[in-house]
Structure 1
Amino acid sequence: MLIGEVARRSGVSARMLRHYDTLGLVRPTGRTVGGYREYSPDDIRRIFHVEGLRSLGLSLSQIGRALDDFGFTPSTLVGDLIRKTEERLNRERELLEHLRMVDAAEPSGWQDVLRIVELLHGLGSPSAARRQQAALAPADDLSMPAELLAEAVLTETDPNVAGALRWALARAGGDGVASVASGMASEDVDIRRRAVLALAELPGDEATAALTDALGDADTTIRRHAALALGARGVTLAVPALVGTVVEGPNDVEAAELLGKLARDAKWADWILGALVDELTAHAADPAVRMRLTQALAEMPGTIALEILQQLAYDNDRVVALIASALAKTLEERLDEEAETPQIG
């Protein structure tokens, strides 16, 4: 078969076939009656082998070695091709994300595009100081792409940079809630922890819903941060987790204050007070826990915890008894002051 016919049937151009011939990769081994070189069936089969390997990304020199060296094993080469292809795809995915972020910022001109690119480079810097600077000092007339900030929040390991990114994300108006909330589905507990901290600083019902879901997380740190954020928003679903935070610490003081605020609503006061008392009973042998619970009782509104504190003033643990006695005395004095205050009207 002559070169023109081979080109038509194989889809490989005559120019490429000549190139293969020059390289010694596929040479026509037959001859016509008139002396013209022609491709034998084995030559054509080799052409298809070459094209198949080219489709995998092999270079022509690699293909020649693979076809002619009978001792050649493909595993190493294929593994290298997989690694290089993965690297290329990662670069292209990163480029695609950057293009989407530029588009989301709705730049009005190329100067805006260049400033967004500069921001991307800043947030991607190996220097924590440079990343923090990029998060804190965007151009006044350039809105920070929420998706970019959300991605950075979920991957940032430096606590100072992470704080700056959360501030910038909250400043962006809550547009990144969905992107941040997606981090709660990660199998990586560190990513989920970063996500819950960011959600705690974002406004709106969508962030509150994501925080509520986080109360069911397997990680105690995530549940604690979600409960503190929800308690500050007045969400009573966080009460069990807040009581648990008082029991376990840390953040027990903050949790106790939030329980006190939630208990100002008479509808929830008895429930919250009862939950604290139940934990006192459950941890009768743990003085440290009982001390934290006793202090939390003092955060209850009015004097609803006075009777319990008076009982705890005779607790077997001396420290608990002293704390309860002091707190009960304070509440008793408050009652006396209220009784002596003349009622108006």
Structure 2
Amino acid sequence: MTLAKEDLNPLRVLQGLENNSSSVRLQAALTIGTIPDPGYIGELIERCAVEPEFYVREMLTWALTRHPASMTLPALLEEVRSERAQARSQALHTLSKIGDRRAWPAITPALVSDADDEVARSAWRAAVVLVPESEEHELAVVLATQLGRGEREMQLSLSRALIALGEAMLPTVGAATKGPDPRVRTHAIATERLWRDPDAGFEFAIEEAKRIVALGGAGQKGR
């Protein structure tokens, strides 16, 4: 089964979203996004929850962004409360792409600290896009509870989210550089270093932070 752009039969398009071939599923999502129709929104969101291929999920998200936010937001906000981790993660990712700040109240501390790493990372990215300026400091405090979590890729995602908040994150991260947990201190120091010298790279910042913590230092400024 293949789909051509001119083939807009709704049943055929929906069948394409569930086809065994990832290229057909990709084409189906592209077709929907090319000529948006609110009737497809529910199917797009449902497919996001189960689609195994990253690049197809990205096309599904793109197709959703092509529809009016007023029509997609209610369903996406419901989806962030789903029991399925991928459903939560992809809904958060899509909300970050839509960028409508009406979704901000849905970014709860529970999502930021979600046990599933992909959900948590998606929540971090969505949070820094959607947060009102007046609440950036409070968000930094919530994000900082995740310092030290996971391996390098996970930690880099959190550092990027904190850095995206700009100076609003500095007091909270600075306090974390003096905390009792060496892993949290290391991550906080690395984040602070990366903020001050983005060109240094995260790997260098982490290794330097490890040396500082090993020597008993914390929160040192500059290099």
Contact kept in structure 1, 2:82 and 2:88, CA below 8 Å:
yes
Q: Quick one: distance in 2 between partners of 1:213 and 1:315? A: 30
2:67 aligned partner: 172
Instruction: Quote the offset at 1:134 in angstroms.
Output: 0.9
Instruction: Quote the offset at 1:317 in angstroms.
Output: 1.7
Q: What pairs with 1:15-94 in structure 2 (closer than 5 Å)?
A: none
* Greater relative CO, 1 or 2 (CA 8 Å, sep 6+): 2
Tell me which amino acid in the other structure corresponds to 1:279: A
Q: Against the structure 1 CA distance between its residues 190 and 328, is the aligned structure 2 distance closer, same or farther, given a 3 Å change threshold?
A: same
The match for 1:281 among 178, 183, 186 is 178
Runs of 4+ in 1 over 6 A off after TM superposition: none
Tell me which amino acid in the other structure corresponds to 1:298: R
1:256 aligned partner: 159
Instruction: Quote the offset at 1:213 in angstroms.
Output: 6.9
Q: Against the structure 1 CA distance between its residues 253 and 132, is the aligned structure 2 distance closer, same or farther, given a 3 Å change threshold?
A: same
Q: Quick one: distance in 1 between partners of 2:212 and 2:191? A: 16
2:106 aligned partner: 210
Q: Against the structure 1 CA distance between its residues 176 and 217, is the aligned structure 2 distance closer, same or farther, given a 3 Å change threshold?
A: farther
Q: Quick one: distance in 1 between partners of 2:187 and 2:113? A: 24
SS in 2 for 1:247: coil
SS in 1 for 2:26: helix
1:129 aligns with 2:23: yes
Mark the runs of 5 or more structure 1 residues left unpaired by the alignment. Answer: 1-111, 303-311, 330-345
Contact kept in structure 2, 1:146 and 1:169, CA below 8 Å:
yes
1:184 aligns with 2:80: yes
Provide TM-score, normalisation by structure 1.
Answer: 0.47
Q: Against the structure 1 CA distance between its residues 230 and 293, is the aligned structure 2 distance closer, same or farther, given a 3 Å change threshold?
A: same
Deviations 1:116-136 (A, max 9, x none): 222111112122221112112
1:143 aligns with 2:143: no
The match for 2:144 among 243, 249, 254 is 243
SS in 1 for 2:190: helix
How many residues end up aligned between the 2 structures?
A: 198
Contact kept in structure 2, 1:200 and 1:207, CA below 8 Å:
no
Q: Quick one: distance in 1 between partners of 2:75 and 2:11? A: 20
Q: Quick one: distance in 2 between partners of 1:113 and 1:207? A: 34
Structure with the greater alpha carbon radius of gyration: 1
Q: Against the structure 1 CA distance between its residues 282 and 130, is the aligned structure 2 distance closer, same or farther, given a 3 Å change threshold?
A: same
Provide TM-score, normalisation by structure 2.
Answer: 0.68
Percent identity reads: 20
1:294 aligns with 2:189: yes
Instruction: Quote the offset at 1:215 in angstroms.
Output: 3.4
Instruction: Quote the offset at 1:282 in angstroms.
Output: 2.9
Contact kept in structure 2, 1:246 and 1:293, CA below 8 Å:
yes
Q: Quick one: distance in 2 between partners of 1:218 and 1:301? A: 29
Q: Quick one: distance in 2 between partners of 1:290 and 1:210? A: 29
Instruction: Quote the offset at 1:193 in angstroms.
Output: 2.6
